[in-house]
Amino acid sequence: MENKPETELDTLRHSTAHLMAAAVMQLFPETKVAIGPSIEDGFYYDFDRPTPFTPEDLEKIEQKMKEIAKGNHPFVCTTKYKHEAVEYFKSINEKYKLEILQEIPDDKVTFYQSGDFLDLCRGPHVGYTSKIKHFKLLSVAGAYWRGDEKREQLQRIYGTAFSTKEELAEYLNKLEEAKKRDHRKLGKELNLFSVNEEVGPGLVLWHPKGARIRMIIEDFWRNQHLANGYDLTYTPHIGRSNLWETSGHLGFYKENMYAPMQIDGQDYFVKPMNCPFHIMIYNNALYSYRDLPLRWAELGTVYRYEKSGVLHGLMRVRGFTQDDAHLICAPEQMPSEIRRVLRFCLDMLKAFGFSQYNIYVATKPKKDSVGDDKSWADATVALQEAVKAEGLDCVIDEGGGAFYGPKIDIKIKDAIGREWQCSTIQFDFNEPERFDMTYVDKEGKKVRPYMIHRALMGSLERFFGVLVEHYAGAFPAWLAPEQAVIMNITEGQIEYAKSIAAKMKALGLRPRVDDRNEKIGLKIREASMAKVPYILVVGDKEKEANTVSVRARGNLDLGARPVEAFIQELAKEAAYPLINAEI
């Protein structure tokens, strides 16, 4: 039984899911039905059918949906006693509906019928099928029943529906644009990264061009952290089991950790997080209130088990580098530290081209959490007040907090309006207690510090994937792995081209000389496909005048430019973005 939709659009999409199920049952009556809710961008329905659905099947289903919709069948709600519903679904051998019924505590349940299709559902639905006009079936994917990989694998048909033809067309155009920007497609075309089955699913291989961009990102990240009062750390990739027992990860997070390895008769785990190591550094010395706050950052590579079905390019991987930091402060310093790191997050995101975002404050999970209710409430209020003090709005994400404390999540919007989870600021009143962290206060007493976990980009892999899709692979000059390709027309300009490249490299720029014995048109076309910001063509005329013929990305002919002038302009354009530094 699906959750009740919250908006008219949800109701429309939920009704379209039922319409799709009706069409499937008419075309493929051997199919068993599971659930069909509305989701953020549309709807889906899960089916159990021995034969896989094909693209041709989706076309047939969509056509049948249109036929049923034109029949103007009402969505009729009826109520049955639970035992009657059980007998009904037994009679038609619908085992998934029977399992759902077992979990419903009520004596009575509701059904909705449109035409010949009757489904267990709370509703609501549109009045008549004729209200469903603007929809599109999009794809088929595998989905385990109840999300359990040990259960039946179903076929999930995704679709979308809108109130108007124009809204549907706009969304479908957005999907086409998203396909063009897919980081997996562009990663291959631009030779940035790969994932190799022989290495292992979810483990990323960074190619030279992708690694160059990653290096630029990391260098910028380090420079900005040092300028903003952080110190850098490096920690191991593995740790003894007792470390993870103390931190609580083996109790709350074990399903995401890999099996231990035996070293000298002891269990060691590859790290899923960096925080216990930073705490060990802290506990290696005794700190005074005068030493606080401490801000420690690390680009730490971690490993987390993800089911193979959810792995997705760079967005969902099993090994990734977290731009992690931990702020250790006195309780009275906590509000100002949260505000400070919030500003730092937004400044860093803006530097990478993300100026639109939504902020969420995530509260205590319903289960698997530590700490008393008052501590959670106080910390949650502190996060909300920090957001408000910065003049920002936030949405409450009920139950979305980590097991050790509430958090602020910042979800950025890319060039085509999609939302991506990146930055997070997490309050922790768990690990300072578990690891007996203390500092000496003004009265000379040992007391607990507060601890804030913080990531700006989330993970370098995911952030890089978002960057690829945001810029459609056409990175700004400061991030581009190659900022200019210099190409000669004949052999007579090879040395001239190399001399220009040498001058650019002397200023830290990233040129490449294409001196192959190929036609200039081919060279230009290949550099354009590689999305290089600038193409510099040199012939005898340019050599004699000490100029370059400049083409900007997008096939914009900027004409001949003096070499020195162009290099200075590119150096200015390619400089690191400036952000505010707080010492």
- Residue 293 has which token pair? 């706050």
Parallel, antiparallel, or unpaired: how do β-strands 294-303 and 319-329 relate?
A: antiparallel
Rg from Cα positions in the chain: 29
DSSP string, 499-534: HHHHHHHHTT--EEEE--SS-HHHHHHHHHHTT-SE
At 408, which helix (H) or strand (E)?
Answer: strand 407-413
The residue type at 455? A
Q: Is 22 helix (H, G, I), strand (E, B) or coil?
A: helix
Which residues does the annotation mark as catalytic?
275, 304, 322, 324, 326, 407, 453
Beta bridge partners of residue 128, listed in sequence order = 74
The DSSP letter of residue 13 is: H
CA nearest neighbour of 110 among 118, 99, 121, 101: 121
Beta bridge partners of residue 325, listed in sequence order = 297, 454
Q: CA end-to-end span of the chain, whole Å?
A: 55
Task: Cis check for the bond before 74: say yes or no (omega within 30 of 0).
Answer: no
Q: How far apart are CA 450 and CA 165, in angstroms?
A: 53
Query: Which residues have a Cβ under 8 Å from the Cβ of 573 and sit 6 or more positions away?
Result: 477, 478
Burial label, 350 (beta-carbon count in 10 A; 0-12, 13-18, 19+): middle
Burial label, 442 (beta-carbon count in 10 A; 0-12, 13-18, 19+): exposed
